[in-house]
Amino acid sequence: MATFNIKDTLTQKRQANPMKSYLWYVLLPRLDDMSSESTPSTSSTSSSIVSSVADSFTSAATDFARSVGVTDLSAKDMDIHRKISSRIVNISIPFISIDTEKVTSQNSYWYYARTNDIGNIAFELYEYEDGLSLEYITTWQNLMINDTYGTYNPPAMYKKRVKFFRLNSSRDEIVVHTYHGYFISGVADISNDYETNDIVKYAVNLTGDSVLHESIPVSTLLGSRTADNILKQVLSVDSVLPTLQNSLEGEITAKAGKNVPFF
């Protein structure tokens, strides 16, 4: 049985690279992607029926998306969701919270878990003179509301997937938080005055169902290369000498005024 060594633990802590709160980015959903999170999953007993229902839903959802301007928005730029994602200046991401219940046990209590819930995603989004940020927000909201009948559309129409990525110091993705079934639940009021020169920002709230947390191991980031092989490659004499030779020959030529072979 391995023994705990506090000295080794403290050494590892000093050498470890902490995550930085500014190394992140968000990927908002493509609004014209109608492969909804609420479409039914197939099973071995009724796969043909489910597939038919899913195809019918996708067709109807695509027609509806075209009618509310989603297709027009995508026509401007197929990667519009990435462009809007890059305008997010700050974001608050939620984690699952669990409600508890207590039971009397003699003169004390013991607790157990009951239901769980997840909070809202809140972020601020810059607006530019192209007006695309507002157009993206309103188009997503239009997927919810059916103006013809004054009702709301099925959740499968507007629930989307939002991804939040944490990066290491080398800008590699090391943690991915995938939020499922999220949609716009509110946009805060904007105050306007002539005394400031700030960029217009929309404060947006998203409400949703669940989250999946994934950590990307270092071995995946490095591929099949081992740490020893990487170190050997970096310190390889064969890789260093040509660069060193070119630098020295260039310096000698510049000062001597003639091309003098170094080796």
Instruction: Say what the pTM is.
Output: 0.72
pLDDT for residue 53: 47
Confidence tier at 40 by pLDDT (50, 70, 90): very low
Rounded distance, CA 172 to CA 224, Å?
16
171 shares its domain with 66 = yes
Over residues 95-104, mean pLDDT? 94
pLDDT for residue 88: 96
- Using the structure block, give the residue that is written with the tokens 């260093």: 240
186 shares its domain with 105 = yes
Q: 117 pairs with which residues across the strands? A: 97
168, two tokens:
């290491």
Burial 160-187 (b: 16+ CB within 10 A, else e): bbbbbbbbbeeeebbeebebbbbbbeee
The 10s digit of each residue's pLDDT in 135-173 is: 999 999 999 988 777 788 889 889 999 999 999 988 899
Considering only 91-95, 98-102, 202-206, 221-225, which range has the smallest mean pLDDT? 221-225
64 shares its domain with 23 = yes
Comparing CA positions, the residue from 102, 119, 120, 124 lying closest to residue 111 is: 102
| Dihedral sign (CA 150, 124, 73, 52) | negative
Q: 100 pairs with which residues across the strands? A: 113
Domain of 253? 225-263
Q: Is residue 117 part of a domain?
A: yes
Confidence tier at 42 by pLDDT (50, 70, 90): very low
Q: Is residue 125 part of a domain?
A: yes
The 10s digit of each residue's pLDDT in 253-262 is: 666 555 555 4
50 shares its domain with 106 = yes
* 119 has pLDDT over 60: yes
To the nearest whole number, what is the mean pLDDT of the chain? 79
Confidence tier at 43 by pLDDT (50, 70, 90): very low
168 shares its domain with 232 = no
User: What phi and psi, each to the nearest 5 degrees, are found at residue 149?
Assistant: -110, 0
User: What phi and psi, each to the nearest 5 degrees, are found at residue 17?
Assistant: -95, 120
pLDDT for residue 257: 59
38, two tokens:
């609420």
Query: Helix, strand, coil: what percent of the chain each, to 5?
Result: 35, 30, 35
Percent of the chain whose pLDDT exceeds 90: 46
24 shares its domain with 116 = yes
152 shares its domain with 240 = no
32 shares its domain with 120 = yes
* 52 has pLDDT over 80: no
Q: Is residue 4 part of a domain?
A: no
Rounded distance, CA 103 to CA 117, Å?
21
Q: 176 pairs with which residues across the strands? A: 165, 214
Higher per-residue confidence, 57 vs 205:
205
Confidence tier at 110 by pLDDT (50, 70, 90): very high
178, two tokens:
């995938």
Considering only 46-55, 79-88, 111-120, which range has the smallest mean pLDDT? 46-55
Rounded distance, CA 39 to CA 55, Å?
10
